[in-house]
């Protein structure tokens, strides 16, 4: 089953929160964690990672916290997930340069690579702004399901 890690899920939730509150110059990890009922220490690590790769700006001090580094329409779900979890692979055989002992007879590597590319393409077209806009998010989810169905081997 394909699933986001908790860290990626929390990262997307945090960016959605920041996009929903543009009037707030910055929000603390605790504020965001309290809103969603998630562990603040884990969220703080996720936010630090997102700031390190440039998706968030961090502000130190008493009124410190985090803010989006650019418009929510310019940050994709793919970027967030990749920043937290690394490259997206649905199977272990598609990553790295190590040879696979069954590669000469494998019949699923290429079809699964197409599924992986389809998922990546959809995630690249979902922005943080889309997560705020429920109608757009529902449409993108339907698109993802359709692409995975089309690309999946029979």
Quick check: 78 and 122 in contact, CB under 8 A? Answer: no
Residue 24 corresponds to which tokens in the numbers above? 């707030």
Tell me, what DSSP letter sits at residue 154?
-
Residue 18's domain is classified under what CATH number? 1.10.10.10
Q: Which domain holds residue 87?
A: 6-151
Number of compact structural domains in the chain = 1
Confidence of residue 147 (pLDDT cuts 50, 70, 90): low
pLDDT score, position 142: 64
Domain-embedded: residue 1: no
Q: pLDDT tens digits for 22-74?
A: 888 889 999 999 999 999 999 999 999 999 999 999 988 887 899 999 999 99
For 92-110, what is each residue's pLDDT tens digit?
665 555 666 677 788 887 8
For residue 37, being part of any structural domain is answered with: yes
Residue 128 lies in a domain: yes
pLDDT at 54: 96
Give CA–CA dist 102/93, Å, rounded: 10
Assign residue 96 a region (left: φ > 0; alpha: ψ between -120 and 50; beta: otherwise): left
Residue 49 in tokens: 């990672």
For residue 111, is pLDDT > 90? no
């Amino acid at each position: 089953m394909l699933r986001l890690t908790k860290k990626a899920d929390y990262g997307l939730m945090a960016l959605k929160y920041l996009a929903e509150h543009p009037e707030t110059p910055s929000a603390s990890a605790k504020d965001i964690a309290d809103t969603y009922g998630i562990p603040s220490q884990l969220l703080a690590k996720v936010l630090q990672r997102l700031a390190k790769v440039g998706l968030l700006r961090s502000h130190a001090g008493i009124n410190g916290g985090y803010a989006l580094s650019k418009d929510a329409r310019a940050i994709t779900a793919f970027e967030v997930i990749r920043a937290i979890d690394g490259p997206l692979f649905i199977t272990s055989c598609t990553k790295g340069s190590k040879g696979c002992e069954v590669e000469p007879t494998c019949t699923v590597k290429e079809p699964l690579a197409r599924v992986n590319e389809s998922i990546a393409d959809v995630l690249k077209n979902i922005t943080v702004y889309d997560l705020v806009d429920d109608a757009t998010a529902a449409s993108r989810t339907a698109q993802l399901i359709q692409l995975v169905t089309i690309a999946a081997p029979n």
